[in-house]
Amino acid sequence: MTGHPSPEAPEVPEAPRGPSAKDAAEAVRSRINTAQPHTARIWNYWLGGKDNYAVDREAGDRIRELHPGIGDYARADRQFLGRAVRHLVADRGVRQFLDVGTGLPTADNTHEVAQRIAPESRVVYVDNDPLVLTHARALLTSSPEGRTDYLDADMRDVDRVLEHAGRTLDFSEPVALMLLGVVIFIDDDQEAYGVVRRLMEALPSGSHLVLSHTITSPAMPDVDAAVAFWNEHGTPKLTQRTPEQVARFFDGLDLLDPGVVSCSRWRPEGGGQGLPDEVAMYAGVARKA
C-alpha cells in the first residue's frame, strides 16, 4: 500500500427528528460496510473526494499500483458526462435526464450541468448504494425552474425505476438515459443488454442513451490485473466487456459521432483536458429514432 494520509471518515448526515425517520436512517447506516472497499467510494477517492474510508483508499492505492493510469478513468468518465450533457441540452434540446448508477455526489452532477444551460431541466437519480443515499440531499439542489429526485433502487428493477421516474419526468417528451459505469455490475450479458433495452423501450422517440463501460483489451493487460484484484477484495464485482460488446448496448439506436470510443476521445474540449488519448473506459451517445 502507498500509505496515503487518511482524512476523516465520511460524515453520515443525522436523521431528522421522529422515531420513523430515526429508524430509517439507522437502516441505511446498517447497510454501509466500512470493512470492505466499495467501488463508489474508491471512485470518489480517485476524484479527490472525502466520502471514503481507509479501506477504500488502501484498495484504491493498490489498484493504482497495478494500473497507474486508473485515476484517469474516473476523470475521463466524469468529463465525458459533462460534455455529453452539455451537448444534449444545448444542441439536442433535451430537458429530462434519468441518471442510473449516480455514484457519490461531486462537482458538476448531471442536474448542475444541465440546469446551468437550461434551468428548467428535470433529473431523476437512481442508485442502490446506501452511502449515496445518505448524501442524496446534495443531488436535490435543483434550480427553482427545474426539478430533481432520487430513488434508492437497483437498476435491474426496471418497473420500479420507471414508475418512480415517471412522477418527475414526462415520458411523452425525450429523456436522456445516463448509464455511466453502472452496467459493469451486471455480469450476465443477456441480463445486461435486456435491462438497457427495457429502459430505452419505455422512452419516447428523440430520447438518448449515454453509456460508459470498462473494457478489456489485449493492449491493456494491466487493466485486467486491476479488475481481478478488485473482484477478489472489493464490492460489487465488476464485469469487463470488449469494445464490440459495449457497442452492442446501442443496437437499434442512431449513434452520434464519433461512435463508441474511449471516454477521452468523445468530442474532447480544450485538447482533451490533460487526459491520455486512450483509457479503458469506453462510451457513446445514441438517439432513439
Q: Kindly report, residue by residue over 125-135, the tens digit of the pLDDT.
A: 999 888 788 88
| DSSP assignment of 77-145 | HHHHHHHHHHHHHHTT---EEEEES--S--SS-HHHHHHHH-TT-EEEEEE--HHHHHTGGGG----TT
Task: For residue 97, give the nearest of 115, 76, 77, 72 by alpha carbon.
Answer: 115
Res 25: pLDDT: 55
pLDDT by residue (tens digit) across 46-103?
778 888 888 889 888 888 887 777 777 778 888 999 999 999 999 999 999 999 998 8
Give the Cα separation of 42 and 45 in Å (integer): 5
Prediction pTM value = 0.83
Give the Cα separation of 221 and 226 in Å (integer): 9
The yes-or-no verdict on residue 205 having pLDDT over 70 is yes
Give the Cα separation of 14 and 25 in Å (integer): 8
Res 163: pLDDT: 98
The dihedrals phi and psi of 37, each to the nearest 5 degrees, come to: -65, 145
pLDDT by residue (tens digit) across 7-49?
344 444 443 444 455 555 566 566 666 777 877 788 788 778 8
Task: Indicate the burial class of 160 (C-beta count within 10 angstroms; 0-12, 13-18, 19 or more).
Answer: middle
